[in-house]
Each structure stands twice: as structure tokens, then as C-alpha cells.
């Protein structure tokens, strides 16, 4: 037992719980905690330029590697409110991060002290637990409970608010007697799994929907093994992408209104049974519940009891950790296979695979300004199999999900439900801090890139190199596309004549912000690409610059101003906008939509349900 400040005990607990990296911004009300960090010197600290960015760095750090918990730190008042967006994003996607804020002295609470705000109440709706610790002796217990809650059941974020006098209060604490609390994870019973297997066996066209909960549970190997035993096609959600490799014979694309594949939607519409594991039936995945569920039976497995039945009532709901459920599925399915009790699914798999090979979208466009589809085609050709993509929202993310290839878990790091602009850049820095040797490619539209662009300086200062692909159409592209329904294009253009952009081959007249100049001004390197002939060399040059300087490198692609990316209001009626490839013409109308001519595309009207 030793006498020490409460914050010194807190840092010892952080070490014992496995924290090795923190992201934050110091300030008067949190400086005692920073003094404890400095005294120990055991936890790396990365200084953000904006406190919201620190919370997204913590998210990226957690999402990058199983077992990680990202830590973000800020002072009192606006630091906490700035981090609310990161807490919301983490809560929405079941990501554990710990947010520590400073606070005014206890005697000044509720007295309108400088930068004193009730962050506990503000953050409660977007955390698993939020607490202002009012006694120094409670600090160790608060941190112990925080880690227990973050890891138990459905993972999520916690905020601990520390008044400055509580931080400095002296307590008796013995780190040798400290033990992390046991993590609670519910597990399915054999009887439940046997019932689910009976429903699976009774179907003729089953599918497995693999959600992000499988990745959170580190259960991807079990997913692939189970799918192979029963011979059932797998549809990953956006958050589950990478749980099964894109080129696996049972991976049959994503389903949805936006981040989906034509063949994924078409095959799903042929299914009669769906086993959902670790997913939440997000509306961008399902479209209307009526269309999504019609003619199908559902089993839903989730670690959170209140998640089952939240969107629609399944035919069977099972509360379980995804990995535990899959391990039991493997056991039961293996026994059934040995007894010859599993149906032969080869014809159904072959039918889905035929669609996968034929129902494609066109990517090879040679025009200038560039079409975004060509950018993703080139990325697939250049980047290695283990590349980790980081992205948030917008037409860039939607098209990226439609065209890129992902082969491993945690190689698609995406904030799924919240989708805050500006998330990509700091999240990529957090991923790099967690994975120093991984190839990392961030993907942004110009507006996402501009939101927290100052964080490039963090990458330069702390030597966090990664490649940032910016597809620049100088538009709020997704919002512009949404505004078609209101027959307007209002306040969504970022274009202007930048008086500082000169003439010459590298000029971008009318595109506004010079991202290359800004990136270089923040200590990074940047390349601009305007022609398809420049792709391969630009990627090679970027790789060389990263290796030489160990800083983020930006590649900006100048796109045509308007490109409509495939999306719709129902999974069986996605508007393709562009001509689509189909090596087997008989498949073009399987999801109710076909290629459109230029006149139809320009008016955004739906085509007929037959034709070529």
C-alpha cells in the first residue's frame, strides 16, 4: 500500500489494463492527470490539433486491433463537448474508447465557473457509462468499472470526468492488489444452436449475414469455417466487411441501398432464410423492413438482448457473443455433417457465384476529368491484399464500398452509423499508431478531408505515415445527389476561383481549395492526379515519399463535378445511373433495374423493368 495522488493511481490502472497510447490536448483542468502521465512515461501521448479529432484517433486505434482500447483526454468544458461526436460514433458501432476529461473543482460545480459544464449529463446518451468522480478514493474503482463495462456485453465508450481537486487528492492504493474485473459475455446454449440449425436445414436458399459483432468478437475464422461446413453463402454488412475474404467462393457481396453490390442484392432477393450474426439490421442495409423480410425466415444472434427485435422480430432470437455462438455452430454442424444430415447447397452457391461473376458495375473510364469508378479500379490493381482502408461517409465511401476489395478483418475501418465528416483523417492516424507496419489507405471526398485537415500536422509531427486518397469534385456530392428529390442543387458546391492557384499543368481552375498546398503547408507531401495515364506513377511516387519522409502523403484525384453513384430506396430497385457490365444479359433485370441511356441518366428517371 502506498500513498499517492488519485491521478497517479489512475495511470497505474491504465497500464495494468493494457493502455499504451493516448490521444489528447492538455489544459488547466486536466494538467494534474498529464503530470501523472509524464511522471510514469509508460503511455505514448499523441497531441491532437482538435479535441474531436483526438476522440476519432482513439476510435481508429481501437478498431485497428482486437483487444485495443483507445484513450482520449481533454480538459474541462469545450474539450468534453468536442469529444461527444467521437463518443457517439463509438457507441453507435460498439467500439470501446475511454474519454477522460478535467473538471472545475467540486466547490465550483453548478456555479458557472470558467469552462465548467455538466459533461456527465451531456454524454450519458452516447456512452455506456458517464461519471463525474466526486471523491479521490473512488478514482481507482471508477477506472476499474470503466474497463469492465467497455469490454462486457455489447462494447462501447465510457467517459470519466475528474474535478481538478479530485485528481490531486491523496489516497492509499496498492497496484499489486489490483485485478481487472471479469468480462461478461453471454453465450448461446447448444439447444438454441440446434434449433437454429434445424431452421437452416429446412431452407432451400439460405444466407448468413455477418455483422461487425463478429469482427469485434474476433470470430472471423469461426465464421468462415462454419460457412464452409454448411456450404451457405455469406453476406457481410458494411461493418462486417472483411470477416470473409472478398474472393472466397461463399462471399456473395454486400446488400443495401448504397454500399452494396448488384449481385449481393440480387442473390439476397432469391433467399428464403437468413442467419444474422452480430448485426443490427441497419436501414442502409435493409431498406424497408417489408421488402427485406418478405418471404424469408430469420434467426438473429446478438450479444445485446435489446438489439433482438429492435428493428423487426426474428423467427428466433439468441443472445450470445458472436464467437461463442459460431464455435457452437461449428460443433453442431460438424456432427450433423458426419451423420449426413446437412443438405447439399452446391447448386445454390453456384447460382450466387454466377451472379457475382456477371452482375458488375463498369469501372474502366478513360475520360478527363476523372470518373471516380476508375480511381477505385486503379486502387484495386495497385494496393496489396493486406491494405487497410479507412473512411467515413459520402459518395467516396459509398463508391469505395461498391468497388474496392477487402480480404481480411479490420481491413475496412469505417464509422457505420454516425458517419461524421472529418472522421477519416484522425481515425487513420489512430490506426497507424496501433499498426506501425500495416499499409494504410484513407479515402475521403474533398469535404470530409477539409473538416479536420489540420490533423495532417499531427501525422507529420509524430511520424505517422499513411496514404490519403482524396477524390475531389468540389461538391458535397452525396447531399447534392440527395437534393435531386427536391429538384435543387443548393448550397452544396465548394467550387470557387482561388486567386492563389496559378496557371500551368497542375492548376485546378474553379475547384477552390488547393489541397496539395495545404497538405504541404502542414508538413506532409501531396500529389495531384488529373489523367488516367498518371495513376500508376502517382501511387508509386506516393509510396516512395512515405518511406523517405515518414509523413502522411495525399493523392488528390480531380473528378468530374457530377457523378451519380448507384443507390436507391429499396434493395430490389437500386438506380444504377451508369451503364453496368453484365456478361450474361439474362441477369440484367434480376433486381428490377437495367442499364440506362444518357438521356435517362441525366433526368434521373427509372428505366423500364426489361431491356438491355
Instruction: Reply yes or no on whether 441 is catalytic.
Output: no
Pairing of strands 97-103, 158-163: parallel
Q: State how far the Cα of 331 lies from the Cα of 351, in Å rounded to an integer.
A: 28
From 11, 14, 25, 223, active-site residue: 25
Yes or no: say if 90 and 415 are a contact pair by the CB < 8 Å rule: no
Task: For residue 444, give the nearest of 515, 380, 393, 505 by alpha carbon.
Answer: 393
Which entry of 476, 508, 522, 555 is annotated as an active-site residue? Answer: 476
Buried b (16+ CB within 10 A) or exposed e, 498-531: beebeeeeeebeebbbbbbebbeebebbbbbbbe
Q: Are 585 and 592 in contact (CB under 8 A)?
A: no
**What are the cell numbers at 12?**
497505474
Catalytic site residue from 13, 51, 200, 413: 51
Which contiguous run of DSSP H or E holds residue 540?
helix 535-549
Judge contact between 261 and 253, C-beta under 8 A: yes
* Number of Cβ atoms within 10 Å of the Cβ of 294: 10
Residues in the chain: 612
Nearest to 226 by CA among 351, 345, 63: 345
Alpha-carbon distance of 307 to 302, in angstroms, equals 7
Alpha-carbon distance of 190 to 414, in angstroms, equals 34
Q: How far apart are CA 145 and CA 184, in angstroms?
A: 12
Examine the residue annotation and report whether 12 is marked as an active-site residue of this protein: no
- Does the annotation count 311 as an active-site position? no
- Per the annotation, the verdict on 421 as an active-site residue is yes
Q: How are strands ordered across the β-sheet holding 467-472? A: 412-414, 388-391, 440-445, 467-472, 553-558, 525-529
Reduced to 3 states (helix: H, G, I; strand: E, B; else coil), residue 395 is helix
d(CA 566, CA 175): 56
The catalytic position among 43, 109, 360, 479 is 479
Q: Which residues touch 320 (CB under 8 Å, ≥6 apart)?
A: 186, 187, 188, 192, 301, 302, 303
Of 118, 111, 123, 14, nearest to 69 (Cα)? 14
Indicate the burial class of 262 (C-beta count within 10 angstroms; 0-12, 13-18, 19 or more): buried
Clarify whether 166 is annotated catalytic.
no
Q: What is the DSSP string of 200-261?
A: HHT-SSEEEEE-HHHHHTT-HHHHHHHHHHHT--EEE-TTTTTSS-TTSTTB----SSSS--
| Contact between 443 and 361 (Cβ < 8 Å) | no
According to DSSP, the residues that pair with 103 across neighbouring strands are: 163
DSSP letter at 100 equals E
Grid cell at residue 135:
471523491
- Burial letters 45-84, b for 16+ CB under 10 A, else e: bbebbbbbbbbbbbbbbbbbeeebbbbbbbbbbebbbbbb
Per-residue DSSP letter, 493: B
- Catalytic residue numbers, as ranges: 25, 51, 421, 476, 479
Amino acid at each position: 500500500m502506498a500513498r499517492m495522488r488519485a491521478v497517479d493511481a489512475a495511470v497505474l490502472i491504465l497500464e495494468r489494463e493494457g493502455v499504451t497510447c493516448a490521444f489528447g490536448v492538455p489544459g488547466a483542468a486536466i494538467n494534474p492527470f498529464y503530470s501523472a502521465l509524464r511522471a510514469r512515461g509508460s503511455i505514448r501521448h499523441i497531441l491532437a490539433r482538435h479535441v474531436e479529432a483526438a476522440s476519432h484517433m482513439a476510435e481508429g486505434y481501437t478498431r485497428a486491433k482486437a483487444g485495443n482500447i483507445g484513450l482520449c483526454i481533454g480538459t474541462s468544458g469545450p474539450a468534453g463537448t468536442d469529444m461527444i461526436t467521437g463518443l457517439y460514433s463509438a457507441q453507435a458501432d460498439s467500439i470501446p474508447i475511454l474519454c477522460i476529461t478535467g473538471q472545475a473543482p467540486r466547490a465550483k460545480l453548478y456555479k458557472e465557473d470558467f469552462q465548467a459544464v455538466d459533461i456527465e449529463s451531456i454524454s450519458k446518451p452516447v456512452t455506456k457509462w458517464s461519471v463525474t468522480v466526486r471523491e479521490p478514493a473512488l478514482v481507482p474503482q471508477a477506472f476499474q468499472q470503466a474497463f469492465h463495462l467497455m469490454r462486457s456485453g455489447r462494447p462501447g465508450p465510457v467517459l470519466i470526468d475528474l474535478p481538478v481537486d479530485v485528481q490531486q487528492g491523496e489516497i492509499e492504493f496498492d497496484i499489486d492488489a489490483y485485478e481487472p474485473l471479469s468480462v461478461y459475455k453471454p453465450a448461446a446454449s447448444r439447444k438454441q444452436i440446434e434449433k437454429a440449425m434445424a431452421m437452416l436445414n429446412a431452407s432451400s436458399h439460405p444466407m448468413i449475414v455477418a455483422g461487425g459483432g463478429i469482427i469485434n468478437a474476433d470470430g472471423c475464422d469461426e465464421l468462415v469455417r462454419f460457412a464452409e461446413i454448411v456450404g451457405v453463402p455469406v453476406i457481410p454488412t458494411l461493418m462486417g466487411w472483411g470477416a470473409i475474404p472478398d474472393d472466397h467462393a461463399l462471399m456473395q457481396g454486400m446488400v443495401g441501398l448504397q454500399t452494396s453490390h448488384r449481385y449481393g442484392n440480387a442473390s439476397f432477393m432469391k433467399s428464403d432464410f437468413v442467419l444474422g450474426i452480430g448485426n443490427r439490421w441497419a436501414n442502409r442495409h435493409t431498406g424497408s423492413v417489408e421488402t427485406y423480410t418478405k418471404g424469408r425466415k430469420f434467426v438473429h444472434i446478438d450479444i445485446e438482448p435489446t438489439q433482438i427485435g429492435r428493428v423487426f422480430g426474428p423467427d428466433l432470437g439468441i443472445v450470445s457473443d458472436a464467437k461463442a455462438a459460431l464455435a457452437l455452430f461449428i460443433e453442431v454442424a460438424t456432427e450433423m455433417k458426419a451423420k449426413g444430415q446437412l443438405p447439399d447447397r452446391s447448386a445454390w452457391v453456384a447460382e450466387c457465384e454466377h451472379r457475382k461473376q456477371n452482375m458488375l458495375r463498369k469501372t474502366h473510364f478513360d475520360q478527363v476529368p476523372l470518373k471516380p469508378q476508375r480511381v477505385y479500379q486503379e486502387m484495386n490493381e495497385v494496393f496489396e491484399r493486406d491494405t487497410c482502408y479507412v473512411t467515413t461517409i459520402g459518395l467516396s465511401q459509398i463508391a469505395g464500398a461498391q468497388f474496392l476489395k477487402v480480404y481480411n478483418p479490420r481491413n475496412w475501418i469505417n464509422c457505420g452509423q454516425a458517419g461524421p465528416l472529418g472522421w477519416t483523417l484522425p481515425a487513420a492516424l489512430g490506426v497507424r499508431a496501433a499498426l506501425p507496419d500495416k499499409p494504410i489507405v484513407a479515402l475521403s471526398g474533398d469535404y470530409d478531408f477539409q473538416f479536420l485537415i489540420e490533423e495532417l500536422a499531427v501525422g507529420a509531427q509524430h511520424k505517422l505515415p499513411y496514404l490519403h486518397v482524396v477524390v475531389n469534385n468540389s461538391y458535397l456530392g452525396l447531399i447534392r445527389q440527395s437534393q435531386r428529390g427536391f429538384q435543387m442543387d443548393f448550397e452544396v458546391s465548394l467550387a470557387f476561383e482561388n486567386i492563389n492557384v496559378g496557371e500551368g499543368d497542375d492548376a485546378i481552375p474553379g475547384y477552390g481549395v488547393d489541397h496539395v498546398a495545404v497538405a504541404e503547408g502542414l508538413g506532409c507531401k501531396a500529389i495531384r492526379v488529373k489523367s488516367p495515364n498518371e495513376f500508376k506513377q502517382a501511387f508509386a511516387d506516393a509510396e516512395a515519399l512515405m518511406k523517405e519522409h515518414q509523413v502522411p502523403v495525399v493523392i488528390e484525384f480531380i473528378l468530374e463535378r457530377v457523378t451519380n453513384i448507384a443507390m436507391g430506396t429499396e434493395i430490389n430497385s437500386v438506380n444504377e445511373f451508369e451503364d453496368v457490365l453484365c456478361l450474361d444479359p439474362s441477369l440484367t433485370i434480376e433486381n428490377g433495374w437495367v442499364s440506362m441511356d444518357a438521356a435517362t441518366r441525366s433526368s434521373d428517371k427509372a428505366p423500364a423493368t426489361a431491356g438491355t
